Amino acid sequence: MSNLLILIVAVACMLLLFKVTPAHYKPPKGSNAESKTVKKEKKQETLVEKEKKDEDGEELVAVITAAVAAALETSTSRIYIKTIKRVGTAASPWTTAGRQEQMKAI
């Protein structure tokens, strides 16, 4: 029992030393140019992703408009969709998987 207490105190002291001592890591000065090029590449990638999302959004609006028009038996010119918000599932993935397993068993 006393060995455990000594071990806990030793670990606590080590953790305090890690907090008190400053970190010796300093990034090299030459990596600054590399980070700028990486940032530019990331910006270009995000712009491409945003364009793809916009295209997907337009297609999604068209599909939803067509589905609503078909359900209401009207033309698409009468339907105006303002916003589309994705809603997460109310159930956790584990719950969904459990339900699917139960349905397979039947």
Cα 21–12–5 angle (5° rounding)?
Answer: 155
Q: Give a yes or no: residue 92 inside a domain.
A: no
Q: Give a yes or no: residue 100 inside a domain.
A: no
Looking at the 3D structure of the chain, how many domains does it have? 1
The model's pLDDT over 28-51, given as tens digits with 9 standing for 90+, comes to 665 555 555 666 666 666 655 666
Question: Do you know the residue count of the chain?
Answer: 106
Lookup result for tokens 């890690």: 18
Amino acid at 101: E
Distance from C-alpha of 86 to C-alpha of 8, rounded to nearest angstrom: 49
pLDDT computed for residue 11 by the predictor: 94
Distance from C-alpha of 37 to C-alpha of 72, rounded to nearest angstrom: 52
Q: Give a yes or no: residue 58 inside a domain.
A: yes
Question: Could you tell me the two tokens for 91?
Answer: 């159930």
The model's pLDDT over 9-25, given as tens digits with 9 standing for 90+, comes to 999 999 888 888 777 76
Q: What domain range includes position 58?
A: 36-84
